[in-house]
Amino acid sequence: MGWVGRGGVEGLACRGMADLPVPENPAGPDLPAGPDLSAGPQGPVPPERPEPPGHGAARPGRSAPPLDLAALAAEAWSLVADDAARSAAPDGVTDAVPPRRLLGIAGAPGAGKSTLARALVAAVRERHGAGSAAYLPLDGFHLSNAQLRRLGLTDRKGSEPSFDVWGYAALLDRVRREGRREIYVPDYDRTLHEPVAARHLVPPSARLVITEGNYLACDAPGWRAARASLAEVWYLETADAVREHRLVERQLAGGRDAEQARAWVAGNDQPNGEQVKESRRRCDRVLVPFDMDMFSWRD
């Protein structure tokens, strides 16, 4: 299994994610087998970030991790482990809630974000227990078709303004702060073509929550508030031709004919992708995929 990154930077190994079979409930009922409160508090605007390193680049004081899914999951879990070491309860305190960290995975449409996020959640659960990690997709905050019609955004579904960003930011803030109750998480249903409530669950035991979506590093109101709840954001960079193929296949599976599918991708997904690419430099690291064998995990 090879790892490669742009300009010699090492990156995450991935193979064509569109062909990846998603295991049936690999690590809990809130990970589906299929593919895939009012305004939250405005967080501080994160400073401009330098060009992010690839996966092989280590944080200060750390050596580069081994190059496989288990190592990437361990790197994600280290966000929790490091925080737990810094905030250990004083002697004699037994009811302190352990820290919870949120990791974001950003990338253009069709990059494979949900596949990677679910694989990481499954790997963390396998190593640290079924309730140790949870999945929280931005797609659950798609506006309903009725709201898109009201706003004149029906033909721009998936664009930045077609999400309830403040609802997403509020849920991230709640998930980060509230560790004693179950928290239900919405998702998007590609059969209904609508968001659905409570498909996923963040249990009180979850120490790591992985969220993914196009605009996690977008420098705009609402998205900055969401970013403030995330310990890190990793950018999944996938070749445009690979993404376009996956996106056309997605539209075909959703009921469009070939001409309609290509037109939708060209007129909607591609402009959205160009906007997302501009956020790459604000991410903490870049994962450059070319092989997905690492995601062929078993229960």
Within-domain flag for 186: yes
Greatest CA span in the chain, whole angstroms? 67
Q: Convert the pLDDT of each residue in 114-173 to its tens digit.
A: 999 999 999 999 999 999 999 999 999 999 999 999 999 999 999 999 999 999 999 999
230: containing domain: 6-41+52-79+97-295
Confidence category of residue 98, pLDDT binned at 50, 70, 90: confident
d(CA 107, CA 287): 10
Within-domain flag for 87: no
Given the structure tokens 């409570």, which residue do they identify?
198
Q: Convert the pLDDT of each residue in 11-50 to its tens digit.
A: 343 333 333 333 344 344 455 444 443 344 444 444 444 5
Within-domain flag for 17: yes
What is the rounded average pLDDT of the residues 227-231? Answer: 98
Within-domain flag for 23: yes
What is the rounded average pLDDT of the residues 97-116? Answer: 94
Angle between helices 270-277 and 240-253 (to 10 degrees): 140
Domain count, the chain: 1
Within-domain flag for 147: yes
Contact predicate 243/110, CB 8 Å: yes
Within-domain flag for 277: yes
The encoded tokens of residue 92 equal: 């004699």
What is the rounded average pLDDT of the residues 210-234? Answer: 98
What CATH number does residue 268 fall under? 3.40.50.300
**What are the φ/ψ torsions at residue 201 (nearest 5 degrees)?**
-135, 135
Within-domain flag for 84: no
Asked whether residue 207 carries a pLDDT value surpassing 90, the answer given is yes
Comparing C-alpha atoms, which of 220, 169, 180 is closest to residue 203?
A: 180
pTM for the predicted model, two decimal places: 0.77
Within-domain flag for 86: no
